[in-house]
Amino acid sequence: MKEQWCIPEVSTEFVAGMEDVLELYAEPDDAKRPKVNFDETSKQLIGETRQPLPARPGEPARFDYEYERHGTRNLFLFIEPQAGFRQVAVTDQRTMIDFAHQMKWLVDVAYPEAEVVRVIMDNLNRAQGGFFV
């Protein structure tokens, strides 16, 4: 058996950004200044080309490795752990306009009474290589 891990090389800028995020997480919950985690991902939609075989006593269900591709969808995810809040939006694409619509929804619908919504994200495309708080 072999164990593997990665010790990344991090810059002082990265460490400072991580410290900012950890300090933010340590703050008490404040409804006027919520801390909301944001992430996005693309998922492939697939379908079966053959009927799976159902599970039987002593045998698991079996699925053929062949599949039919049905495109992709983008998922935008907001989470505020301290408040128990979670929201997922599924879109056909992932553009800056789609991103802007999600941010508008966040401030106009999810947190209309907030003075400021603090968004924590690690998306390199949006934050240009680091944490965006």
pTM of the model: 0.71
Tally of domains in the chain: 1
Tell me the two tokens of residue 6.
């990665």
Could you give the CA distance from residue 15 to residue 109 in angstroms, rounded to a whole number? 33
Q: What share of the chain is helix, strand, coil (3-state, %, to 5)?
A: 30, 35, 40
Report whether pLDDT(129) > 80. no
Average pLDDT along the chain: 86
In a domain? residue 2: no
In a domain? residue 111: yes
In a domain? residue 87: yes
| Partner residues linked to 76 by β-bridges | 40, 89
In a domain? residue 69: yes
pLDDT tens by residue, 41-99: 999 999 989 998 999 999 999 988 898 999 999 999 999 988 899 999 999 988 889 99
Q: Which structural domain range is residue 117 located in?
A: 12-50+61-127
